Structure 1
């Protein structure tokens, strides 16, 4: 089995430089000029979707043997920092294919499941959606109430999921459900592959969100949804909780990198504005208090970039796949919020106007501190991990 935790990158440094350069050009030349259109229409233009598929972006983190580019996490974060430079709706197009949904299959699927789905996910022919979050079971997956019960050789799934990214356009739901009460053997959570056209699957209307226009989320309902035994990921009822935690931890490093890219954009917009906008005939960038804002922003961006790269390196090396991802996600998403706030302040009243990039960024980045584990959950993971490490060392 090829595992997300053991697979090594087959992409050479030279090839990756070309991938990164093409992605940077795509983001800045094709997407940035259309950010206002994307926000107003709440939709990613079809030609941008087609171009992303042609570039392999729907499968950049899927192993090459399954049709992807095969980037490891250290390369993934470099790409994410470029993707974060524009509307986060771009990354949402293919984020779940490469990340929390696709990695469940890469790391835990059977060979038959991988053969059936991964090439289609990597090409963008299939949009995979990660159906974990529920009302009352967001940052704590162990509390989920969606159930899966045996019916002969099949499974019957019942429950509701919320805030599910790409649900309105999903072809495949990676669904987490409780198959038994938690006990000494585990959390009792399994994960199933449920095609979106399966009878009993219903997707609600698109959510109306504070920001990230063009990135669609919705509630998903499972009412007596019958799936075969081959839908159980890994063919094992006890894989679900570990699959969720592993996928989310890896995704946290990616989200941290995305936050760095967005913060860099807010900083760049602010520096340009400060160098050209005037107050009393003097560029505002010459005022020391404006320079102080810019200095703090630059410091946060550089610190975040270094932290993301270190966390990704530790993940690839197998040194730290729990505490470091949470540290990176906590710091970088909180940093992006502070940088976005400072960016609006540097722009003054202009920064509060729609159609100004930093106004959109201010709204977009607020979500980064919530999904894939809130900042509060990251603090619990970090603090608890440090204590457990110390206790083990003391034995």
Structure 2
């Protein structure tokens, strides 16, 4: 396995970092304080070519592989320091576009992917419910067939991009008596359909520039043409594929944040003086910096290994869960170190690292908690 980047990949990542530094980082502090989504910034990201990275070229995308898509998210996080934007873009790409690209009919792909790849339409994925998070099979949202139409009822929560999306992939129970692997179906539900609404906007600890909402479905009539994939197979075929993309690719955003925090801490340790000398000369600070670098290297290697194996069609589930579990916890640990290195200034939002701590915590929860990843790893070890 050779995880060295090609010259083309290195140049691409550098271009994304430069773009993010110029267009994304300015104003991020104010956007976070206001909890504000910036549609104009989204249009700039799309115009730069990031909104359709893994979408096949025939549908207007770049046809990028998992590793390259992750590189873009890592570079955007490093240069832009806007974890909320990264969250929305990552969700749009990995669990918005890819379910349609992988499981959609030709008509569904033609209808949605060109618009999503251009950024004109935003995608979202709705599987989590108020009483069904890690226990996805506990979903209560239902869809019953009435002739050529499905009638959808229920509630989904913690939905990234839910209030922005033009189309939401919704997983619902369609057979109450079938085993889990045959009981759930995915539907492409369009914004504006009768009975489909945002019932609540959720206020979050971090990633505040990305809107997260609760969605309500009240007798939403969904045509047969909006069924995504084979009926009954959504939990494994669609849902777990989305989780796989999150764990192998989307987690790269946290790696980019870790790298930027480390570089900022090194700079601060050289400039900040205490007792007549730079704080970087003190062993306590040096040890924190060293641990941040070790975590960064391990996090990046685990993420890229999982992405590389997925790209090459190799077994990668245990690598994906290891990456998700490690990166999330490492990002929080390094963010805590960054705050401590900055001392009192690190506790203020103007130095950004307090936001890094708030933003990093999501990586231990979203897309499958650390505990769920450890459970999956242990099950694969034990067979």
Q: Same fold (TM over 0.5)?
A: yes
One of 66, 70, 78 as aligned partner of 2:59 = 66
Alignment partner, residue 258 of structure 2 = 263
Alignment partner, residue 50 of structure 1 = 43
One of 170, 185, 192 as aligned partner of 1:175 = 170
| 1:193 and 2:188 aligned | yes
CA contact (8 A) 2:185 2:230 kept: no
Cα deviation digits, residues 121-144 of structure 1 (max 9, x gap): 111111111111101111221111
TM (norm. structure 2) is: 0.94
Alignment partner, residue 129 of structure 2 = 134
Q: Distance in 2 between matches of 1:109 and 1:43?
A: 32
Q: Distance in 1 between matches of 2:40 and 2:143?
A: 39
Q: Distance in 2 between matches of 1:256 and 1:93?
A: 13
- Where 2:266 maps in the other structure, the secondary structure is helix
- Where 1:309 maps in the other structure, the secondary structure is helix
Change (3 A) 1:182 1:138: farther
Alignment partner, residue 287 of structure 1 = 282
Alignment partner, residue 164 of structure 1 = 159
One of 230, 235, 238 as aligned partner of 1:243 = 238
CA contact (8 A) 1:189 1:241 kept: no
Change (3 A) 1:318 1:373: same
- Give 1:1-395 correspondences, 5 Å limit: 16-85=9-78, 86-181=81-176, 183-184=178-179, 186-388=181-383
Cα deviation digits, residues 145-199 of structure 1 (max 9, x gap): 1000001110000000001101121111110000013635824010000001100
Structure 2 residue ranges without an equivalent (≥5): none
C-alpha displacement at 1:311, in angstroms?
1.1
Q: How many residues align?
A: 377
Cα deviation digits, residues 329-374 of structure 1 (max 9, x gap): 1011110010001111111111111222111101111111100000
- Where 1:130 maps in the other structure, the secondary structure is strand
CA RMSD of aligned residues (A): 1.7
- Where 1:148 maps in the other structure, the secondary structure is strand
Q: Distance in 2 between matches of 1:191 and 1:64?
A: 24
- Where 1:261 maps in the other structure, the secondary structure is helix
TM (norm. structure 1) is: 0.92
CA contact (8 A) 2:73 2:90 kept: no
CA contact (8 A) 2:54 2:65 kept: yes
C-alpha displacement at 1:44, in angstroms?
3.9
Change (3 A) 1:131 1:185: closer
CA contact (8 A) 2:37 2:211 kept: no
Structure 1 residue ranges without an equivalent (≥5): 1-11, 389-395
Q: Distance in 1 between matches of 2:221 and 2:23?
A: 42
- Where 2:86 maps in the other structure, the secondary structure is helix
